[in-house]
Structure 1
Amino acid sequence: MLKRKTSIILIAVLILAMIVTSCTGAKESGTQTGDTGTKTTDKDAAPKTGTSDSEEPYELTIFCADNNIADYPLDLENRPKLKLIKEMLKDKFNIELSLETAVGSRFVEVLNTRMASAANLPDIIVHRYDDVTLNNVYNNGLILDLTDLIKEHAPNIAKTYFEEDPYYIIANGTADGKILRVIQIVKNIQHTVTTLNVRYDWCKAVGMELPETTDQFYNMLKAFQEQDVNGNGMKDEIFMPDYVAMNQSLSTSFGVMKMNGASDSWFADSTGKIYHTMLTDEAKNYIAYVAKLYGEGLIDPDFLNQTQDQISEKRYANRMAGGVGAWWNSVLQSTALNAYAINAEFVSIPPLYNDEGTRHILKRNYAGGNCWMLTKDCRHPEAAIKMLDWFYTTDGSNYAYYGEIAPGGEYYVRDVAEAEKFGLQISPHVLTATDRFRQEQATEPDLRYKLGINTNVFPHKRVGRNDDIAWEFYNTYTEVVCGLAANIEYNMKVLNMFVNDIGVQDIGFVTPNSEQIKVIEETTDLFAYMDEMIQKFMTGVEPLSNWDNFVKQCESMGINKVRDVMQQRYDDYLRVMESYGFKVIKG
C-alpha cells in the first residue's frame, strides 16, 4: 500500500508541474532538420486508384510535427504501434500510408514555407491554425472544404459534428458553415468548466462545512487566518487564484453570466442582444467583493503577476487556502502537498450561491484539439476522409491512443468490474494499463514514445462520462490521500449537477471577416485598458467610485463598435446552427 501511495504521489507531482507548462507547446526534441521536413517513404509517384487489395493502393502522406524525444522519433516502421496501424489501414482501406515530419520546435516554420510555395503539398496536414489563419488558408485554395466528403463518406465524423455538437462546425470552418478540418476530441465536463477549490481539512479544523455562499467563503478565509490553521504563527493563509480563472469561477456567484479577460467577456441576453459582461452592475459587485478580499489580505497579493516559482513557494509553505482551475486540481494539489509531508485535503466545490439563492456554472464551448486538413494536392480525398473517420470509432480511437483495443493486449486491458460494483458505467474507450506496461515504464519512462501510442499522427475521439472521472479519482488518487475529492458519491453528485442542473452553455461566434477584423484590431488598446482598470479596481489602486468614468471611457474607445461586430458574428452563428437543424436558446 505504501509503495502504491508513493507512486501515486510522484505521478501527481509531475502532473501538477505539467498544469503550468502544458500550455507552452509540445516538446521540441526530435531528429528532423531542413526546410521541408523529413519523410519515411517517397510520395512523388503518380496518383493511383483502386478499391481492393487486388488493385493499386491509395497512396497518402501525412505531414505532422514530431514531438517525440530524440531517441524515439516518429516513424511508421520503428514505432511498433504506429506500424500496426499502418498495416491495418492497408488491410481496411487499401491505403499505403507514409509520414513526413518536422521537429516540433520548427514545425510551424517548415509548414509556413511549404504552404507559401503552394506546390507539392502533402495529402494531409496535422496542425491547428487559429480561426482567421485557417480561413485565409482555405480562401487561398490550399485546403479542401470537407463538408460533402464528411456527409457522404464519414458517418462517424458526421454524427459528431452534425448531431452531437455542431459547435465543432463553427470552431473549425468558415462563417457560412463549411467544415475545413477534422479535430481530435478529448472531452468531459472537466474540460469545459472552471471551479473553486478549498482546503477541506482546514474547514474541519475551524468547525466549518464547505462554503456554499460568498459570505461563507469570506468567513472561511477569515477563520483560517484568525485560527492560524497552518500553525506558523502568522496570518498568511491566502486564497490563490489567477485573474482569468477567478473571473470564470467566482463572478458567476454575483450573477455574471460569463467573464474571462476583457476581449472574451461577451454574452447574449434573453432577446439575443450581445453585451459586454464586464460593464454590468453584476460585474461591479463581483469586483467589489474581490477588492474586499484583497484589502483584508485574504487573497494572494501577487495574484496578478507572479512566476510559477513564487506560486510553488507559497504552496509548499502551506499557505494555500484555496484556488481556482479545473475540477481535477483538487486531487493534484492534495497529492502534491502530501508528497512534501503536508497532509492537505483540497476539494473542488460547486459555484457559490448568489444573493438571490441561485447559482450557475458556465460550460465553455469545446473546439477540439489538434486538427487534420486535406490539402489541395490530396490525391485521394475520399480514401483520406474514410481513414480519418475510422479513428472516430471506439476501436480506431483506442488503437491511436493505446495501440490496443478491448478486451486488451500486452499493455492495456478493459477492466471495469470493480467500477461496476459501485454502479458506475465506464465509457467504452477506457482501458487500464497492465502490469507489463507499468513494469516496462518503470525502467523506460519514455515507453509511450518508444511504442508510438497517443501521438499526433492520427486523431482520436474520447468523450468521457462523469463515471470515468469519479472512478479515476477514486482508483488512482484514492480517498486515503485525497479524502472527499476522491469520493465517488461526491464527484457524481456535483458533476451531474453541472451537466443536468446548473450548467449554462456558452454562446458562439463565427470567424470574423476582414472588415470585422479591422474593427477589432483598431480597438486592441480598449481591451488592454479594460483589463488594466478591472485589476486596479480589484486591488484598490483605483476606487470603485470611478466606475462610471471607466464605463464612459470604454464607450469613447469604441466598445459599442466592437459590440456591433460581435452581434453580427453571433447572429451568423445562430444562422449556421439553425441551418444544420439546431435551435439555440438565446441568452
Structure 2
Amino acid sequence: MITFRKSLSLLLAAGLSVSLLAGCGSPDSGTAEGPSATVEIVNKEGFPIVSEPLTLTMMAPDVGIQNWQDMKVMQEMEKLTGIQLKFANAPLDSFETKKNLVFASGEYPDILYAASLTQAEEITYGSQGILLPLEELLPEYAPNVQKILDEHPDIRKSITAPDGHIYSLPRIDLNAVWYRGPLWYNGDFLKALGVKKLPETTEELYTYLKRVKEEDPNGNGKADEIPLESVKIKDIRVWMLGAFGIYDEELYVDDKEQVHFTPLDDAYLEYLKYMNRLWSEDLLDHEAFSQTDEQKKAKGRSNLLALFPDWHAYFTLGGEQSTEDPMFIPIKSDSVEAAAIAKHRGISTGQFAITSSNPAPEASLRWIDYIYTYEGALLFDKGPEGVLWKYTDKDILTKEWLPVPGGGDREEYRATLTPNYGIASPMMVNDDVVKGLKSDFDDWVDKETKEKLVDRGARVPFPALFLTQEEQTEVSGLLSDLRTYVEQMEARFVTGQEPLGNWNNYIETLEKMGGSRVREVYQGAYDRWKES
C-alpha cells in the first residue's frame, strides 16, 4: 500500500519548507497532509510492516530509568516491524510543559506516545490539522483496535470528538477498579488495639482514629502516632467524600443521571465538617496539605501511621509485601444508605496520536495495533520471553518468572526493558499476560479489591467525553479560577481558618464564578454522550 502523503520531492518542487507545512492541513476535509521522506510500501498483514526502511520520531514521557533506544522491547519492535524510532522524550515531571512547547513550535514528532492528551488538546489540534483523524484508517491498518471499538461502543463514544473524528487511541483495561490509590491500615496498629472488625461508618472510623491517638499502638511510650495521613489531601479526598454520597471531587452523575459539580453540593459541606472535626482533634496530620510523598513515607517507615494512602501498604511502611495490612473499607455516614465508591473508567484517553508531520500514518497504526494484541501486550508489559519470564505451557499461555539478571528488584529491572512502567502506555491490558505470574500477594490484593470495592457497588463517576470547542473554551476558563478557589477554601474550611458558618458566602462566590454553568455544560455533554 502506497501512503497517500505527498513526497518530500513534491513539496520541495513547490518551494515549500517542511517546517512551514508541519501542522498545516484541511480541517474541513478531515485530513492533514504532512511531508514524507520517501514513498513507503506498507504491508497490511504480517511482519515486517514496511518493505523499505522507515524512521519515525516519537515523543513520550520518560521516567528516567533507561534510554528508550536501549530498551529490549523497543529493539524487538524494530526487528519485528522494520520501523526505527528516534525518541524526543521529556522527563515525566516536565512532560506537560514540553508537550505544550512542541505544539506551539510548529515542529512536531511523528508520534505522540503515552501523551495523555486532554479532550481540549484533541479538539484544538485536531481541528487545526496537527493531529490526524484515525477512524478511516483503523479498519485496514488497526484491525485489533477496530475490533475492540466494535465490541465496546462506549469506548468508541468516549474517544470520538464532536466533529466525528478519532484523534487518539486510549489505554484500555476493562478490569481496572482503582479510581484512586487505596487507603491501607497499619496491621500492627490494628493488632495492638485488638481491632477485629474494620470501621464501616464515619463514627466507627472516628473512634478508631481517636484510639490510635490516645492508646500508643506503636508501643514507644510517646503520643507520636498519626491516625490519618495524606499528601495534599488529593489522595484521600474521594474516599472521605464517598461517605456522604459523592463519587468524585469535581464531577459525577447520580442514580437519576443528574450531573453534579461537587463543590456546590450540600453533601460537600458535610464532608468539610467531618474533615474539620478530624483536623481539630489532631486525627488528620497537620502537614497533610503541604508535605511530599517522601515525607509521608518517612513517617510510615518510622511506624507512625495508622491509615494512609499508597499503591500498596509496604510502599509506605517499608519492608516486604504483607497481607497483614488490610485495605480500607469505604465508610458511610448517617446521611446515606451506602458509601459512594468510585470505579476506574477502564480507559485512559489520549495515549497515542499521529501528527501531520508523520510520513507513514498507516505504518504507525500497524505498529501500535500490535500492542493491542495478547502478544504485543505481553511484550510491552513483561519484556521479551527468556529475560524475566518463560512459558511453562504455551498452549494455555501459562508462564513462570525467571531469576532477575544480576539479582535485584524485578520491577526495577522490568523498567529497563519496556516503556510500560510509570506511564499510561497505549495498549489493551490482557488478563492472559499475567497467567501463571501472579504471586500470593497479588491474589490477596485482588481479593481485597473485589470484596471491599467491587462487591460493595463501585461504579464509574463520570464517563470520558468531549465538549464542543466552544464549550471547552468556556469551561476551561471557568474551571481555572474555580479549582483554585475551591482548593484554597477547602484547606481553610478543614483547618478552621474559615468558619464553616460562612458556607453560604462560599456558595454565592462559586455561583458568581460560574459553578452552576459548569454543571449545566457537562449535563448537556453527558446527555449527548448517552444518546450518541
TM bucket (normalised to shorter chain) is 0.7 to 0.9
Matched AA of 1:203: L
Q: 1:135 aligns with which of 123, 131, 135?
A: 123
Q: Which moved more, 1:205-214 or 1:191-200?
A: 191-200
Matched AA of 2:402: T
State the Cα distance separating 1:492 from its structure 2 match.
1.8
Matched AA of 2:386: G
Distance 1:487 1:251 in 2: 28
Matched AA of 2:168: R
State the Cα distance separating 1:396 from its structure 2 match.
1.8
The TM-score, its normalising length taken from structure 2, stands at: 0.77
CA deviations over 1:205-249 (Å, ceiling 9, x no partner): 222222222211111111122221122333332210241222211
Q: 1:353 aligns with which of 321, 324, 332?
A: 332
SS in 2 for 1:179: coil
- 2:253·2:259 contact (CA, 8 Å) conserved in 1? yes
The equivalent residue for 2:9 is none
Counterparts of residues 439-454 of structure 1 (less than 5 Å): 439-442=405-408, 448=414, 454=420
The equivalent residue for 1:62 is 56
- 2:119·2:466 contact (CA, 8 Å) conserved in 1? no
- 1:275·1:563 contact (CA, 8 Å) conserved in 2? yes
CA deviations over 1:128-163 (Å, ceiling 9, x no partner): 433322222211112221112223442321233343
Q: Which moved more, 1:439-448 or 1:218-227?
A: 439-448
SS in 1 for 2:459: strand
State the Cα distance separating 1:434 from its structure 2 match.
0.8
- 2:117·2:350 contact (CA, 8 Å) conserved in 1? no
SS in 1 for 2:307: strand
Distance 2:54 2:424 in 1: 13
State the Cα distance separating 1:453 from its structure 2 match.
6.7
Confirm or deny that 1:281 pairs with 2:266.
Answer: yes
- 2:172·2:427 contact (CA, 8 Å) conserved in 1? yes
Distance verdict in 2 for CA 1:84–1:107, change over 3 Å: same
The equivalent residue for 1:253 is 243
CA deviations over 1:92-127 (Å, ceiling 9, x no partner): xxxx312222253498788777766757x6654433
The equivalent residue for 1:231 is 219
State the Cα distance separating 1:278 from its structure 2 match.
2.6
Counterparts of residues 85-484 of structure 1 (less than 5 Å): 85-89=77-81, 96-105=82-91, 123-126=110-113, 127-164=115-152, 166-167=154-155, 169-170=157-158, 172-185=159-172, 188-209=175-196, 210-238=198-226, 239-242=228-231, 243-256=233-246, 258-260=247-249, 265-325=250-310, 328-334=311-317, 336=318, 345-355=324-334, 356-368=336-348, 371-404=351-384, 408-414=385-391, 432-435=400-403, 438-442=404-408, 448=414, 454=420, 459-464=426-431, 472=438, 474-475=440-441
Matched AA of 1:101: F
Distance 1:278 1:111 in 2: 30
Distance 1:391 1:519 in 2: 35
Matched AA of 1:364: H
State the Cα distance separating 1:69 from its structure 2 match.
9.6
Confirm or deny that 1:533 pairs with 2:502.
Answer: no
Distance 1:271 1:217 in 2: 30
State the Cα distance separating 1:49 from its structure 2 match.
3.0
State the Cα distance separating 1:545 from its structure 2 match.
2.0
Structure 2, unpaired ranges of 5+? 1-18, 20-34
Distance verdict in 2 for CA 1:272–1:58, change over 3 Å: farther
Distance 1:313 1:50 in 2: 53
SS in 2 for 1:361: coil
Distance 2:475 2:425 in 1: 38
- 1:143·1:376 contact (CA, 8 Å) conserved in 2? yes
CA deviations over 1:437-466 (Å, ceiling 9, x no partner): x1335499985576567489985432459x
The TM-score, its normalising length taken from structure 1, stands at: 0.71
Distance verdict in 2 for CA 1:306–1:457, change over 3 Å: closer
State the Cα distance separating 1:494 from its structure 2 match.
4.2
Identity across matched positions, percent:
23
Confirm or deny that 1:504 pairs with 2:459.
Answer: yes
Matched AA of 1:146: L
CA deviations over 1:340-383 (Å, ceiling 9, x no partner): xxx99432122113325523311133442773323335444434
SS in 2 for 1:371: strand
Distance verdict in 2 for CA 1:143–1:244, change over 3 Å: same
SS in 1 for 2:366: helix
- 1:350·1:494 contact (CA, 8 Å) conserved in 2? no
Q: Which moved more, 1:219-228 or 1:125-134?
A: 125-134
Distance 1:153 1:55 in 2: 10
The equivalent residue for 1:30 is none
SS in 1 for 2:453: helix
The equivalent residue for 2:74 is 82
Distance verdict in 2 for CA 1:160–1:506, change over 3 Å: farther
The equivalent residue for 1:47 is 39
Distance 2:435 2:301 in 1: 27
- 2:401·2:437 contact (CA, 8 Å) conserved in 1? no
- 1:62·1:100 contact (CA, 8 Å) conserved in 2? yes
- 1:128·1:370 contact (CA, 8 Å) conserved in 2? yes
State the Cα distance separating 1:311 from its structure 2 match.
2.4
Distance 2:485 2:502 in 1: 14
SS in 1 for 2:279: helix
Distance 1:337 1:168 in 2: 43
The equivalent residue for 1:518 is 474
Matched AA of 2:352: W
- 1:254·1:286 contact (CA, 8 Å) conserved in 2? yes
State the Cα distance separating 1:556 from its structure 2 match.
2.5
Matched AA of 2:312: N
- 1:245·1:324 contact (CA, 8 Å) conserved in 2? yes
- 2:264·2:515 contact (CA, 8 Å) conserved in 1? no
Distance verdict in 2 for CA 1:346–1:65, change over 3 Å: same
Distance 1:378 1:61 in 2: 10
CA deviations over 1:555-576 (Å, ceiling 9, x no partner): 223222222222233233324x
Matched AA of 1:251: L
- 2:236·2:309 contact (CA, 8 Å) conserved in 1? yes
Distance verdict in 2 for CA 1:199–1:572, change over 3 Å: same
Distance 1:561 1:71 in 2: 44
Distance 2:340 2:409 in 1: 47
State the Cα distance separating 1:202 from its structure 2 match.
1.6
Paired residues, number: 487
Distance verdict in 2 for CA 1:64–1:397, change over 3 Å: same
- 1:196·1:351 contact (CA, 8 Å) conserved in 2? no
Structure 1, unpaired ranges of 5+? 1-34, 36-42, 90-95, 418-426, 476-485, 580-587
Matched AA of 1:201: D
CA deviations over 1:255-298 (Å, ceiling 9, x no partner): 22x232xxxx1223444332222332322222211111111111
- 2:391·2:400 contact (CA, 8 Å) conserved in 1? yes
Distance 2:470 2:529 in 1: 17
